[in-house]
Amino acid sequence: MSPVVIAVLGVVVLAVLLALVVVSRYKVAGPSEAFIVTGRRGKKSTDPETGRVFTDNSGQKVVVGGGVFVVPFVQQRFTLDLSSRHIPVAVRGAVTLRGVKANLEGVAIVKVGGTEDAIRAAAQRFLMQQDGIVGFTQEVLSGALRAIVGRMSVEDVIRDRAAFAGQVAEEAEASLSGQGLVLDAFQIQDITTEGSYLEDLGRPEAARAKQEADIAEAVARRAAEQARLKAEEEIAVAQRTLYLKQAEIKAETDQAAARANASGPLAEAARQQDILAEHEKVAERQAALKDRQLDTEVRKPADAQRYAAEQESEARRVARVKQAEAERAAEIAAAQAEAERARLTGEGEKQRRGALAEAEAIEGLKQGEAERSRRAAIAEAVRLEGEAEAAAIGAKGSAEAEAMRQKADAFGQYGEAAVLQMLVEVLPQVVAKASEPLAAVDKMTVISTDGASRLSRTVADNVAQGVELLNSTTGVDLASLLRNITAKDGAGTDGAPATDRDEHLDRQGRHEHLGRRDRPDPRNGKVEITG
């Protein structure tokens, strides 16, 4: 083999080897992978704020979705998984705003950020322990959940889970982004509480939902029952229609069968009917012939005889009518003659009654004049009688006046002693009249602190009133007269003082007109009177 060929073969082999090396060291990142190529020396940098000097490793090459050639023995390639991680998160006994302990379960979708800074940060922390992303994320989200739950009530968490999850994501975002992680989504899957808080919280709503469900079920059952009844009704109507139709068809069939069965008898009956009709025509013609024979032989002669009899009867009736009219005319003439005679008789009676009335009027005038004369005589007699009575009364009064005058003269001649004697005789009568009301009492009971003297004073008052009445009616002052007489006589005829005598007379008059049963009992002030 010539040296040229060997050289060419050597170059070719070398080229193939180089190509294999290049191919083997060139890497292409997958859709969910990031290559971190290290090997570059870091450079010294100074923090402008703090002045601290540190090694800047930002020169690490990050390849996402592309290819990179890794220099052998100089650089090293690492792969970081960028796919999303489904991380469950569970919190037990988290205390809510109202002190209720809640158990929360959720799920988070976490991935490494797509920027070079996020990939570098994630690679620095999780490149060699990428499974630690799950635990780190669970710790961060658990803390955020507890923090957010402590500011909310269970009702708020249940009412708006999306808002709750958003607040948790915001709370954990800073911690995750610092580690190069991105929280794509966070959802609360389940919320439970210790005890029966949630069950009690949802019990009214559950009861309402159950009630609505019962009502809806009842309505549905009612609708189903109505539909079933309507369907049964339609079935019944259809069956009735079917039965009617079957009956109608059967009737038509029976009728047709009957007509078919009766066709023979009907034809025979029709033939018989035609025969009868012909017989009827023959009979009618025979009857017509017989009628004409009777008309000729019997009816026409009979009609002629009847006509003759009718004419004769009419002639007799006309004769009777004429005779009746003549008789009626004669009766009318007689009645007219009688009426004329009666009219003439009435005129004579009228004249007679007029004369009689005139005679009675003359007689009445004569009787009135006689009555008037009689009444005038009676009035004159009454006048004369009245004048006589007046004259008699005047004469009687004059006589009484004269008697009174003579009695007064006699009283003047008698003097005061006679007057006193008359008064003494009159006083018992006055006392008796004053005591008459008490004497007529059947039973009287007097209750007074004055005792029985009240009754005696009552009688004395009556006597005094009687004396006063005598004084007012007659003008005779009996008390003054007695005082004058006693003043003139001094001690009086019996030598006793005048006052004692008056008292004696007073006591005597009381005792005379008060019965023994009427006397008062001075011991107890109560008097009982019975009559």
CATH code, domain carrying 180 = 3.30.479.30
Band (pLDDT 50/70/90 cuts) for residue 420 is low
**Cα(161)–Cα(190) distance, rounded to whole angstroms?**
10
User: Are 70 and 86 contained in the same domain?
Assistant: no
User: Are 64 and 86 contained in the same domain?
Assistant: no
User: Are 98 and 30 contained in the same domain?
Assistant: no
Band (pLDDT 50/70/90 cuts) for residue 510 is very low
226 is a domain residue: no
User: Residue 393: pLDDT above 80?
Assistant: yes
User: Are 96 and 173 contained in the same domain?
Assistant: yes
Q: What is the pLDDT of residue 435?
A: 66
Domain boundary among 125, 160, 194: 194
Give residue-wise pLDDT tens across range 333-355: 888 888 888 877 777 778 778 87
335 is a domain residue: no
Residue % of the chain over a pLDDT of 90: 14
User: Are 73 and 141 contained in the same domain?
Assistant: no
User: Are 142 and 186 contained in the same domain?
Assistant: yes
User: Residue 129: pLDDT above 50?
Assistant: yes
Lowest-pLDDT choice from 2-6, 295-299, 483-487: 483-487
Q: Bin 475: left if φ > 0, else alpha if -120 < ψ < 50, else beta.
A: left
User: Are 71 and 137 contained in the same domain?
Assistant: no
Q: How many C-beta atoms surround the C-beta of residue 403 within 10 A?
A: 10
User: Regarding beta strands 26-28 and 43-46, do their DSSP bridges make them parallel or antiparallel, or are they unpaired?
Assistant: unpaired
Q: What is the pLDDT of residue 520?
A: 44
Q: What is the pLDDT of residue 237?
A: 95
The DSSP 8-state label assigned to residue 297 in this structure reads I
Phi, psi of 529 (to 5 degrees): -115, 130
324 is a domain residue: no
User: Residue 322: pLDDT above 80?
Assistant: yes
User: Are 86 and 189 contained in the same domain?
Assistant: yes
Q: Which helix (H) or strand (E) holds 219?
A: helix 197-294
Tokens of 387: 């004048």
Q: How many C-beta atoms surround the C-beta of residue 11 within 10 A?
A: 10
219 is a domain residue: no
**Cα(447)–Cα(454) distance, rounded to whole angstroms?**
9
Band (pLDDT 50/70/90 cuts) for residue 490 is low
Inter-axis angle of helices 161-178 and 132-150, nearest 10? 130
**Cα(42)–Cα(31) distance, rounded to whole angstroms?**
28
Total number of domains in the chain: 2
Domain boundary among 194, 210, 233: 194
Give residue-wise pLDDT tens across range 436-487: 766 666 666 666 665 556 666 766 776 677 677 667 666 667 677 777 766 7
Band (pLDDT 50/70/90 cuts) for residue 329 is confident
466 is a domain residue: no
Question: In which domain, by residue range, is 28 found?
Answer: 4-78
Give residue-wise pLDDT tens across range 209-241: 999 999 999 999 999 999 999 999 999 999 999
C-alpha neighbours within 13 Å on the C-beta side of residue 197: 16
Domain boundary among 170, 194, 218: 194
- Overall residue count recorded for the chain in this entry: 531
Tokens of 456: 């005696």
User: Residue 121: pLDDT above 60?
Assistant: yes
User: Are 97 and 44 contained in the same domain?
Assistant: no
User: Residue 42: pLDDT above 50?
Assistant: yes
Q: How distant, in Å, are the alpha carbons of 94, 252, 260 from that of 265?
A: 110, 20, 10
Mean pLDDT, the chain, as a whole number?
80
Q: Quick one: 176 exposed, middle or buried, by C-beta within 10 A (0-12, 13-18, 19+)? A: buried
- Kindly report whether the global pTM for this prediction surpasses the value 0.85: no
Residue 78: name the closest of 46, 109, 123 by CA.
Answer: 123
Q: What is the pLDDT of residue 253?
A: 92
User: Residue 525: pLDDT above 90?
Assistant: no
Q: What is the pLDDT of residue 473?
A: 61
166 is a domain residue: yes
234 is a domain residue: no
Residue 164: name the closest of 98, 111, 109, 106 by CA.
Answer: 106
User: Are 46 and 92 contained in the same domain?
Assistant: no
294 is a domain residue: no
User: Are 50 and 18 contained in the same domain?
Assistant: yes
Q: What is the mean pLDDT of residues 127-138?
A: 89
Phi, psi of 89 (to 5 degrees): -130, 130
User: Are 58 and 87 contained in the same domain?
Assistant: no
